[in-house]
Amino acid sequence: MKDGYTGPLERIDECCWRIPKDYKPGMRVEGRIYADDTLLKHIRADQAPEQVANVAFLPGIQMASLAMPDIHWGYGFCIGGVAATDPTSGGVISPGGVGYDINCGVRLVRTNLTYAEIKEQMPKLMDALYRRIPAGVGEGGPYLFGGKELDRLLAEGAGYLKTRGWATDADLEHTEANGCLPDADPDKVSQRAKQRGGDQCGTLGSGNHFLEVQVVEEVFDRRAAEVMGLEEGLVCVMIHSGSRGLGYQVCDDALAMFRKTPQKYGITLPDRQLACAPIESSEGQTYLGAMRCAANFAWANRQLLMWQTREVFADFFGRSWQSLQMNLVYDVAHNIAKFEEHVIDGRKLLVCVHRKGATRAFPAGHPELPQRYQQIGQPVIIPGDMGRASWVLVGQPASMEQTFGTTCHGAGRLLSRTAAIAQAKGRRIDQELAQQGIVARARSWKGLAEEHPEAYKDVSQVVEVVHRAGLASKVARLRPVGVVKG
């Protein structure tokens, strides 16, 4: 990791800081970082703010290069980075603004079980989930897709699973974009990517991916919580995964294709990791067609993970998942590029919004929200580390005015995975979590060591910033009581 950021950061207000447009010749817009004084110290510790300034060089970028309070160093874009580009003014698409794990995201499932009634059964429940939910590096699962069937999955996303009996109308309605980006083109996905994804739909993977059993610890917005079916003491399940090897390969293929596109189109960039192409170019369209397939694969992946979880709960408690009221609260993407209409300088524009480690947070009344959430706003699911808390928020109007309808996506790393492992040396993270009442199951010591709580910022501090900034407001805090890791 490079030394910390030493460039300018000018305070705009208590929750937002500016990197002026004149910081670097070639910046087309200013940079803006959402943070408070405490988080700013962490943010200055690496070069992520420099990446915010670099993204401001992208052709067609609108308003500002943005970063959320969980910002940290990433590939090209920082994690927590947001940028919108206008295709009608030469706007570009950049794979670095989506990331390797295309549509890494999270979904929350509520139940009608209380933690008090299942507390003593938690070790056995976590054993059952650990046995049934495929997790770990390269791990395959029971669902196999190939040939035309895989192409349909890539084109139709979670909707294809409904035709197989593995999704309901309500599941699709409560998934961002109904679990499918239109104009996905399976012909743009390489055979290598398809091979890597053939047995990985319905698997957690490794890294920061997880399945957590959580309890609603405190409710802050009772009306919104009631609409979502959340109340204090109830058990929920949070699932965090993405597009697995298929999405990684799609990104790898795109970066190889984009290696010379900036030069081809006369684009000057300060960092080759920001390799991009005009949205309307053949390269841009090829990447978009493949990226949408990977996003659809990820929504199908989380749908199948939820379906398996419902089956485990039904078998374990001897009741159908319907009688356990295991309903999907919402599913949100964290790494994606989507075309959305936003008002910029008083004009409605259709822009390509890159969200790299950032969450959509549309307010009440937005036409893309399901009817159930029209009055309260979009549920925003914010996972934290496995030792402290996760949060449910709702999108607020300021997000549309300031951040292209976007908020934070998690806690944000403090330590690299290598540093986290070094700090965990000689420790039993599972036993430390057990002392906190958290039952942890993992495929390896490394899986827990990389993700131990001290490796992350305190997610509650991150949430406090976006709450005060008016991007999303607090609904409920959830406490982990059981975790499955790769």
**Residues with catalytic annotation?**
409
- For residue 1, the tally of other CB atoms under 10 A from its CB is 12
Q: Going along 415-460, which residue ranges are E strands?
A: 439-442
CA atoms within 13 A on the CB side of 272: 7
**Cα gap 373→219, rounded to integer Å:** 17
Tokens of 439: 């039952």
Phi, psi of 392 (to 5 degrees): -115, 125
**Cα gap 256→254, rounded to integer Å:** 5
Phi, psi of 283 (to 5 degrees): -65, -45
List, as one string, the DSSP characters of 60-105. Answer: TB-SEEEEEEEEE--SSSPEEEEEEE-GGGT-EE-GGGT-SSTT-E
From first CA to last CA, the distance across the chain in angstroms is 25
Q: Going along 293-435, which residue ranges are E strands?
A: 327-333, 335-344, 347-356, 359-360, 379-382, 390-395, 406-407
- Asked if 87 contacts 58 with a C-beta cutoff of 8 angstroms, the reply is no
